[in-house]
Structure 1
Amino acid sequence: MTDGQERAWADLAPRYVLEAPRDDAATSVRPGAAIDPGKVWGRRAPLIVEIGSGQGHAIVSAASSRPEVDFLAIEVFTAGLARTMMGAERAAVDNLRLVEANAPEVLQHLLPAASVDELWVFFPDPWHKNKHTKRRLLTPEFATIAAGAIRDGGMLRLATDWEQYARQMREVLDDAPEFARAFEGEWADRFDGRVLTAFERKGARAGRDIRDLAYLRKERG
Structure 2
Amino acid sequence: MSDEIQQAGEGEAPRRLRTIKSFVMRAGRMTEGQQRGLEQGWPKFGLELADGLRDFDQVFGRSAPRTFEIGFGMGHSTLEMAAAAPEQDFIGVEVHKPGVGALLNGLITQNLSNVRVYSCDALDVLRQCVADASLDRLLLFFPDPWHKAKHNKRRIVQPAFAELVRQKLRVGGVLHMATDWQPYAEHMLEVMSAAPGYRNLAADGQYVPRPEERPSTKFEKRGERLGHGVWDLKFQRVD
Q: Give TM-score scaled by structure 2 length.
A: 0.85
**Which structure 2 residues correspond to residues 66-81 of structure 1 after superposition, within 5 A?**
66-81=85-100
Match of 1:194 among 203, 214, 222: 214
1:46-71: CA deviations, max 9, x gaps? 10111111111111111111111110
Q: Residues of 1 paired with 2:155 and 2:217: CA distance?
A: 22
Gaps of 5+ in 1: 23-32
Gaps of 5+ in 2: 1-28
**Which structure 2 residues correspond to residues 20-39 of structure 1 after superposition, within 5 A?**
20-21=49-50, 33-39=52-58
Secondary structure of residue in 2 paired with 1:214 = strand
1:2 deviation in Å?
1.9
Q: Report sequence identity in percent.
A: 37
Q: Residues of 1 paired with 2:154 and 2:62: CA distance?
A: 37
Match of 1:145 among 149, 152, 164: 164
Secondary structure of residue in 1 paired with 2:131 = coil
Secondary structure of residue in 1 paired with 2:67 = strand
1:205 deviation in Å?
2.1
**Which structure 2 residues correspond to residues 82-161 of structure 1 after superposition, within 5 A?**
82-161=101-180
Answer whether contact 2:77 2:215 (CA < 8 A) is retained: yes
Match of 1:9 among 38, 48, 51: 38
Aligned length: 209
Q: Residues of 1 paired with 2:224 and 2:70: CA distance?
A: 21
Q: Residues of 1 paired with 2:209 and 2:65: CA distance?
A: 23
1:165-212: CA deviations, max 9, x gaps? 000000000000121111112310111111111011122222221000
Which of the pair has more CA radius of gyration?
A: 2
1:3 deviation in Å?
4.6
Aligned to 1:26: none
1:125 deviation in Å?
0.7
Secondary structure of residue in 2 paired with 1:193 = coil
Residue 2 of structure 1 aligns to which amino acid in structure 2?
M
1:61-113: CA deviations, max 9, x gaps? 11111111110101111111100111222221100000012111111111111
Answer whether contact 1:187 1:211 (CA < 8 A) is retained: yes
Once superposed, what is the RMSD of the aligned Cα atoms? 1.2
Aligned to 1:29: none
Answer whether contact 2:68 2:90 (CA < 8 A) is retained: yes
Q: Give TM-score scaled by structure 1 length.
A: 0.91
Residue 215 of structure 2 aligns to which amino acid in structure 1?
V
1:130-170: CA deviations, max 9, x gaps? 22111110000100111111000101101000000000000
